[in-house]
Amino acid sequence: MKLGIVFSIIVLLVFITDKLPAQKQTLTVDEKEGILFMYEEEKLARDVYDSMFVKWEFNPFGHIRKSERMHMSEMKGLVKTYQLEDAVLKNQDKAGVFNNASLQALYNDLVAKGSLSSTDALRAGALIEEVDIRDLKERKAKAVQKDILEAYDFLIMGSENHLRAFCRNLKGAGVIYEPAVLSKADFDKIIKAENEMGGCNH
């Protein structure tokens, strides 16, 4: 009788445990830092493109800034999932304000350069996407969680689409963009590839 009761309790505990939501894996320091950094870097892209669209009223800024909002939402989802401090919310999501000092300096530099002419604005956009692709791939290499890897893949796809869009617009203006961050081989491979819908096609 006693063995029967013990067995019933064990079965009940197994059943209850099976129904409990799976606990999230503990993130590594690299994964935490990667999420927070890329969240703000996507904000940087959005804020620069917002600024450039207001100044020049010129696409692709109008379209791509909307995509950057989607990219921010993707990263914010990870911030919430892993209960990380939301640096964007901390700064009340003010345009052009960043918790990360290097991103703050980059934003200031890009807006200054992009304000010189519409062509300079397109160059600034292409540079942002180069930086984004590089940083995303570096963070992806240090991540193991499936949802983080999937988010990075989604953002990389979008950034590659955006880079192609900026280069097309520059070419239409008679300017051939040369990579400043990516290797020539990696850059050429991206430019020659077809746009992918999953990452926000423009």
User: 13 falls in which pLDDT band (50, 70, 90)?
Assistant: very low
Candidates 3.90.1150.10, 3.50.50.60, 1.20.120.720, 1.20.1260.10; CATH matching 26-193: 1.20.1260.10
pLDDT at 23: 42
pLDDT at 37: 98
Would you list the domain boundaries of the chain?
A: 26-193
pLDDT in tens, 146-191: 999 999 999 999 999 999 999 999 999 999 999 999 999 999 999 9
Q: Are 56 and 121 in contact (CB under 8 A)?
A: yes
Nearest to 167 by CA among 198, 128, 110: 128
- 12 Cβ partners below 8 Å, 6+ apart? none
pLDDT in tens, 60-104: 999 999 999 999 999 999 999 999 999 999 999 999 999 999 999
The Cα 64–Cα 192 span in angstroms is 20
Q: Which two tokens stand for residue 96?
A: 């052009």
What pTM does this model have?
Answer: 0.84
The Cα 18–Cα 95 span in angstroms is 45
